[in-house]
Structure 1
Amino acid sequence: MPRQSNSSPLKPRRAPSQPRSERMVAALLEAAAQVLESRGLEGFNTNAVAERAGVSIGSLYQYFPGKDALTIALMQRENERFYREALAALDHASGRAALDHLIGVAVRQQFARPRLARLLDVEESRPELRPALSDKASMRTLLAQILVRDGLPQQDDAALATRDLLAIIRALVDAAGEREETDISGLIRRVTAAVLGYLTMMSRGHAEGHAEPSAARPATKPATKMQQPVAEPARAVRKTAARSPKRT
């Protein structure tokens, strides 16, 4: 049976290779999610998860060395579910429709199990867990494929736009979760407005149309009193002298 290294407390002890073991791992992960939702981080531990799953603590330890490994696996499960749904964005012909699909999936995942999403966000911020988390390369690749499609403002730096937009989407969705918002359609509108606003402001055409002239001449300032010509009074005196009759 294939096994993974058990040198790290963040990795599963072994990967399921049979239907029975796959069902066991799935049951443990769902039990972990339910314990987090019902008891919070303070009540989250391996004993509670095993009890919720209806298995012995020894059975749990066959797959997970501790609660951090459970947390990592649960995060990966949620990320994989999100990516599978988000990947369907590429089925849409236009870039705008694909982008709408991606935003909708992000918002709906947050609202599907809001307490679980919030607690996993808290856990994901722990520095000791970050090395074990999968990177976001797949999501960056997906969004990059969407941004080059017709129907969206084209970007000079597509890689930068991809990173910025992922940060914008995540920030707005996570903030809504922290506030325990319930208006799905309202959040979708706000995220869409923020994303389209960024794409419009940073697009090639907008940047070219609002570029500042680089060689514009400075406006001519009116002459001050010290700069006014001083020759006029002298000419006036000469003219007056020329008209004066010569004395005999």
Structure 2
Amino acid sequence: MEAICEAAAQLFQRLGYSGTTTNKVAERAGVSIGSLYQYFPNKDALLTALARQHLDAAAAELDAILERAAGRRLPLRPLLEELVGGVAALHTERPGLHRLLFDHTPRTADLVAELRAFEHHAAAALASHLRRLGAGGSDPETSALLAVQGIEAQIHGAVLDPADDRTTDDRVRAVVDLWHRALTPPATPTRDDDDGGTGPTAR
């Protein structure tokens, strides 16, 4: 089955949705069309399997990033740079395939549930970092979930469907900047700020 999925990924990346057929996938994988149909009744089933593989890879990558960050006790910006950079790397490994997965994979109830589970799992891990850093406002769990969902969507749009000729690094930096501003805890007022400028020096 793994050989069939890899053959499908290569063909979807190179030929797109309409150009890829189950016959071509079977031929590239070196199996009979009957063998392919034992696992995948049509090419949408192949897309769904590839989408699940992508979710598994993303979960493993984000777990690794956040675990390393916990061990190093990274400040907020370096943490976001590693997190956003890791998401961007997942998208740019096979950009045509990831765009196709987003556009054409059937949104079945099971697949949507798996996506939501992935988001909540990643958000829980990120929330622990936000609590450690005093970041994310009064509700770090919700802030972390918004960040996970937002980063995924923004990297998808900024990297896979760019609106200008900026480099990928520039776009990744823009996403980091956005979430750094959104999650950074407010500055603690100084003593002079607290007295509204009416302290001993304001005469």
Check whether the contact 1:106–1:173 (CA below 8 A) recurs between aligned residues.
Answer: yes
Q: Hey, what's the Cα distance between the residues in 2 that align with 1:66 and 1:169?
A: 32
The runs of 5 or more residues in structure 2 that have no matched partner are: 190-203
Instruction: State the 1:197 CA deviation.
Output: 1.5
Alignment counterpart, residue 130 of structure 1, candidates 105, 108, 112: 108
Instruction: State the 1:95 CA deviation.
Output: 5.2
Distance change >3 Å, CA 52–CA 36, structure 1 → 2: same
Q: Hey, what's the Cα distance between the residues in 2 that align with 1:145 and 1:198?
A: 18
Q: Hey, what's the Cα distance between the residues in 1 that align with 2:4 and 2:10?
A: 10
Alignment counterpart, residue 45 of structure 2, candidates 54, 59, 69: 69
Using the TM superposition, name which of 66-75 and 91-100 deviates more: 91-100
State the partner residue of 1:171. Answer: 153
Check whether the contact 1:111–1:182 (CA below 8 A) recurs between aligned residues.
Answer: no
Check whether the contact 1:28–1:53 (CA below 8 A) recurs between aligned residues.
Answer: yes
Alignment counterpart, residue 199 of structure 1, candidates 165, 183, 187: 183
Residue identity opposite 1:90 in structure 2 = E
Q: Given the alignment of the two structures, is residue 140 of structure 1 paired with residue 140 of structure 2, yes or no?
A: no
Residue identity opposite 1:51 in structure 2 = E
How big is each residue's C-alpha offset from its partner over 1:15-44, in whole Å with a ceiling of 9 and x where there is no partner? xxxxxxxxxx11111111111112111112
How big is each residue's C-alpha offset from its partner over 1:62-104, in whole Å with a ceiling of 9 and x where there is no partner? 2112212111111111111121111112222235344332211
How big is each residue's C-alpha offset from its partner over 1:145-188, in whole Å with a ceiling of 9 and x where there is no partner? 22332336242122321232123212221112023878332222
Cα-Cα RMSD:
2.4
Distance change >3 Å, CA 72–CA 122, structure 1 → 2: same
Moved over 3 A (4+): none
Using the TM superposition, name which of 57-66 and 175-184 deviates more: 175-184
Using the TM superposition, name which of 86-95 and 185-194 deviates more: 86-95
Instruction: State the 1:191 CA deviation.
Output: 1.2
Alignment counterpart, residue 102 of structure 1, candidates 70, 83, 87: 83
Check whether the contact 1:155–1:161 (CA below 8 A) recurs between aligned residues.
Answer: yes
Residue 94 of structure 1 aligns to a residue in which SS? Answer: coil
Q: Hey, what's the Cα distance between the residues in 1 that align with 2:52 and 2:102?
A: 12
The runs of 5 or more residues in structure 1 that have no matched partner are: 1-24, 210-248
Return the structure number with greater helix share. 2
- The percentage of aligned residue pairs carrying the same residue is 31
Higher relative contact order (CA 8 A, sep 6+): 2
State the partner residue of 2:197. Answer: none
Using the TM superposition, name which of 34-43 and 97-106 deviates more: 97-106
Larger Rg: 1
State the partner residue of 1:44. Answer: 20
Check whether the contact 1:95–1:146 (CA below 8 A) recurs between aligned residues.
Answer: no
Q: Given the alignment of the two structures, is residue 189 of structure 1 paired with residue 173 of structure 2, yes or no?
A: yes
Check whether the contact 1:91–1:98 (CA below 8 A) recurs between aligned residues.
Answer: no
Alignment counterpart, residue 90 of structure 1, candidates 44, 49, 67: 67
Q: Hey, what's the Cα distance between the residues in 2 that align with 1:95 and 1:136?
A: 27
Using the TM superposition, name which of 59-68 and 147-156 deviates more: 147-156
Q: Hey, what's the Cα distance between the residues in 2 that align with 1:115 and 1:182?
A: 19
Check whether the contact 1:108–1:184 (CA below 8 A) recurs between aligned residues.
Answer: no
